[in-house]
Copies of this chain bind each other. A is one copy, B any other.
C-alpha cells in the first residue's frame, strides 16, 4: 500500500472511532437513557462533533487523496477515496459556524416538532421549518452550485438520483397503483381481520422477537434487540448491529413486522465484508438499497403466504388460545388488508408509495421555492384527498406526522419508495435461481441470505445502487416488477 493510502486509512480509522462513539451514544439515548439526561449528552455530542469537524478539516485529506491517486490503486481503494472526498466536501464546504448553528436549529426544531405534533399546531413548527428549508437551500449552493438544491440531497441519500428520474419513477408508480387501489376499494371481498384483534400479552411478544430474528438468519451473537419509542437499526460495525422494536398490547403485528423490517436492515449491515472494516465503505451504500432489504423482508417475504405458514407454529406456541385453530389463509389475508389511512408508517403495501409521492411532490416544491412553508398544510391536505381520498382532520395526522423535515432531512422520503420497488426486482431475480416460496415456507433462509450476500450485502458502499441492481438482477432498475408484484398479489387477495 502506498504511503498516502496508509495515512488515509488512519484518518478513516479515527473517523470510524468517532462515528462509533456517536452511534453508541445515540443508541443509548433511544433505548436506555433516563428521560431528563439530554443536556449533558447534547454537550458531549456537540463537543465530539466539533472534534470530528476539526479533525477532518485539519486532516490534509485533499492532499493525501491527490498523492494516493498518483500511484496504482485497487478498486476498493479508489472507492474509498471517492467516498472520503464526498464526505470531506459535505462537511468542509459548510463553514464551521454555519454547521454548528444548523445543528442547534435541528436540535431545537425536533423538540418543537414533537410539541407541535402533540398539540397538532403547525404554526408552532412553521418558523423552524422555514429556517431549515432556507439553510438546506443555502448549503446546496455551497455543496454544488451547478445543481438544483433538491437534486443535491436526492443524490446524497441515493447516489445517482435526481428529480428527473424521480418524476419518471413516481409517475409510473402512480399510474399503476391508483387504478389498483380503485379496484380494491370497489371489491366486495374484504379480508376478515378479527384474528388480529388484541390484547396480546407483552411478555409473550417479547419471547417471540428473538425467535423471529433467528428464523430470518440473524446471528444473535452479533445482533441484539432493544426497545425504543420508534423502531430503528443502528450498526456500530458489521460485528455489532442493533435493532429496536416497540411492544403494544393491542397490536401484535407492530412488533412482529418491526423485527422483520429492522431485521432486514441488520442482515444487510452484518453481512458487509470484513475487508471494509473501519473504512468509509463499511456501511450500506444508500437509503434506497437499505430500505429495499428491510421492506423486502417485511413485505415481500414477511407478508407472504409462505412466511405466515412458516411462523404459524411460533405464533401458536406464544398465543395458544388465539392461534390453536387458526386458518393460515385467513391470517394471510388479514395481514394483507388494504385500507387507505392517514399515517405513512401504518400504511399497507398498496397505499404506502402514495404517501411517499405526496411527500416527494411537497418537498420538491419547498426546495425549489415554488411552495411556501405557510402553504404546506393546505397542500398536504389537498394531496391526501387526491391520492388517498381522505380528509385530514388535524395536522398531527397530516403534515406533522413525520420527524424527517424537523431533522433537516429533505430528499430522504423517495428512498422508501425506491427501496420498495428495488425489493420486488430483487425477489424476481432470486426467484429465477431458487425455489423461493418453498424455502420461505420451510424457513430455510440460508440460500436466500447467501444470494443476497453474494450479490448485494457484502459490498458495503463500494459500489453504487445502479451497479448493485445490475449485479444482482442482470438488468437495470425497472419499477415494473413492483407493479406486477402488487397487481398479482392483491388481485388474488381481493378477487379482482
Residues of chain A having any CB pair with chain B under 8 Å: 13-14, 16-18, 20-21, 24-25, 27-28, 31-37, 39-41, 43-45, 47-48, 51, 203, 220-224, 226, 236-240, 242, 277-278
B224 pairs with A32, CB closer than 8 A: yes
Kindly provide the distance from the CB of A224 to the nearest chain B CB, expressed in whole angstroms: 4
B48 pairs with A17, CB closer than 8 A: yes
A44 pairs with B20, CB closer than 8 A: yes
A44 pairs with B25, CB closer than 8 A: no
Top 8 closest A-B pairs, CB basis?
A: A37-B240, A40-B237, A17-B47, A21-B21, A20-B44, A36-B221, A34-B224, A17-B44
B222 pairs with A34, CB closer than 8 A: yes
The docked-state distance in angstroms from the alpha carbon of A230 to that of B461 is 39
The docked-state distance in angstroms from the alpha carbon of A278 to that of B40 is 8
The docked-state distance in angstroms from the alpha carbon of A277 to that of B17 is 25
A34 pairs with B277, CB closer than 8 A: no
B236 pairs with A17, CB closer than 8 A: no
B24 pairs with A221, CB closer than 8 A: no
The docked-state distance in angstroms from the alpha carbon of A265 to that of B47 is 27
* A24-B28 contact in complex given A37-B240, A40-B240, A221-B36, C-beta closer than 8 Å: yes
A17 pairs with B37, CB closer than 8 A: no
Chain B residues with Cβ below 8 Å from A17 are: 43-45, 47-48, 51
Chain B residues with Cβ below 8 Å from A28 are: 24, 27-28
Chain B residues with Cβ below 8 Å from A223 are: 34
* A44-B21 contact in complex given A37-B222, A37-B240, A236-B37, C-beta closer than 8 Å: yes
Residue of B nearest to A34 (CB): B224
* A34-B237 contact in complex given A17-B44, A28-B28, A44-B16, C-beta closer than 8 Å: no
Q: Which of the listed residues A33, A240, A277 has the most CB atoms from chain B within 10 Å of its own CB?
A: A240
Chain B residues with Cβ below 8 Å from A242 are: 32
Chain B residues with Cβ below 8 Å from A278 are: 40, 43
Q: Which of B25, B37, B48, B239 contacts A40 (CB under 8 A)?
A: B239
13 other A-B residue contacts (CB within 8 Å) besides A21-B21, A40-B237, A43-B278: A13-B47, A14-B47, A17-B45, A17-B51, A18-B48, A33-B224, A35-B221, A36-B221, A37-B236, A39-B239, A40-B240, A40-B277, A41-B236
A32 pairs with B240, CB closer than 8 A: no
Chain B residues with Cβ below 8 Å from A239 are: 36-37, 39-40
The docked-state distance in angstroms from the alpha carbon of A36 to that of B277 is 16
Chain B residues with Cβ below 8 Å from A31 are: 32
A40 pairs with B236, CB closer than 8 A: yes
14 A/B residue pairs, CB under 8 Å, sorted by A: A13-B47, A17-B51, A20-B40, A20-B44, A21-B44, A24-B25, A27-B32, A32-B32, A34-B224, A36-B239, A37-B221, A37-B236, A40-B277, A41-B240
